[in-house]
Amino acid sequence: MPPPHQKHNHIPPSFTKKKSQTLSEISNHDTTDYNDKSPKGTIDSEIIDLIDEINAFEGYVTTSSCAGRVAVFVEGRKAVASSATVDGGAGVASSSNNEDGEVAGDSAESAIDGRQTSRGAGPGGKGHGNRWLYVSHEPIPSSHLRSANPMEFHELFQLAPQPQCLPSTANNPPRLIKLSFAPLILHILCANLHAAKGLLAAAINAGFRESGVQSLRALDDEDSGVMVGIRTAGVGFETVVGVVEEVGWEEVYRSLVGEGYLRMCVGVVNERFGWNVERRERLRGELAGLRGLEGKERLWEEKGARRERMRVEGLRRRKEQEQAQEVRVGGKNGDVDEEDVLDGGVVA
């Protein structure tokens, strides 16, 4: 009978197949032929080592990732509710779950096939007309902070100076422009609940406290695997820095803040990048510990097999000793014969 942990660690063939396909795609990330579905088109170089370390576990495979990102983002146009929706008719839009248990089409970015990808009308968000004015997976270069240009960050973020007075928006809420920092996020398919439990513990211990299981279909079908999302909200940052001003057929991305405010926000974002790296390295440390536990489980299993082998060998040696004892009592080479002893005779 297999030990308990061996039953829990069953790796379904379907998982092995999916992992093989995913790793085959990821293995080309550093070639010119590689291109994923994200606007960037490549895996973030800052977390390639982390992804490799996760995929080195037999029961894990990464399905999406983002190292962390700063962005200045323009909201898309909001959909106008139809009369059917207002009247309670059938015109209510709904979202559906994809195969990994995530809500499709309901987030600024969805993660597919190992990288960050966009859904909807354009890269990075909901609605028609959304766009990025600035995006980077690295801290904003310090050269911008040292610049003597009085409008350095307005120009970097493609924002027009703030107006003398703000337009009235009581009846027509404006489309907002936001400056944000999003920390590391990973989606990892686990072969089973046992593997997912260890990964979640490692993530939470590393400070990714909003991590969780995306789907529990494995409770009904053990071949489904368990999707785990590793994330944290504690490092995130978002603030409104402007609005979209429509002038005729053109759009003006109008700042609502001064240059000093943007400069301060850049400092905050770069600090968050540092915190993000710290948590990422803590996660790598927790994973190293998890690999140590995985190794101990394997040693425990080998120890059990070795114990059985030693038991069999012990029985064999005892039998050999008994046979040798019988030979010694058999009357050869001057030894006493057992029958002569019983008859009271002595062999000369």
Residue 66 has pLDDT above 50, yes or no: yes
Is the distance from CB of 164 to CB of 194 less than 8 angstroms?
no
What does pTM read for this prediction? 0.67
Which band of pLDDT confidence, cut at 50, 70 and 90, is reported for residue 72? very high
Q: Quote the pLDDT of residue 278.
A: 97
Judged by average pLDDT, the poorest of 92-101, 132-141, 259-268 is 92-101
Band of residue 312 on the pLDDT scale cut at 50, 70, 90: confident
Higher local confidence (pLDDT), 222 or 72: 72
Strand order in the sheet with 250-255: 131-136, 69-74, 176-182, 237-247, 250-255
The mean pLDDT value of the chain amounts to 76
Residue 1's pLDDT is 46
Tell me the Cα Rg of the chain.
33
Whether residue 97 is predicted with pLDDT greater than 50 in this model: the reply is no
The domain covering 12-75+102-164+172-286 belongs, at the CATH homologous superfamily level, to tRNA wybutosine-synthesizing-like (3.30.1960.10)
Percent of the chain with pLDDT over 90: 47
Range name among 28-32, 219-223, 247-251 with the lowest pLDDT average = 28-32
Q: Write out pLDDT tens, residues 317-348.
A: 788 777 777 766 655 554 444 444 334 444 44
Confidence check: pLDDT of 103 > 60? no
pLDDT tens, residue by residue, 15-59: 999 999 989 888 765 554 545 555 555 788 899 999 999 999 999
Q: Which residues of 91-112 are buried (b: 16+ CB within 10 A; e: fewer)?
A: eeeeeeeeebebeeeeebbbbb
Q: Could you read off the pLDDT of 169-213 as tens digits, one per residue?
A: 666 788 999 999 999 999 999 999 999 999 999 999 999 999 999
* Residue-level pLDDT at 315: 79
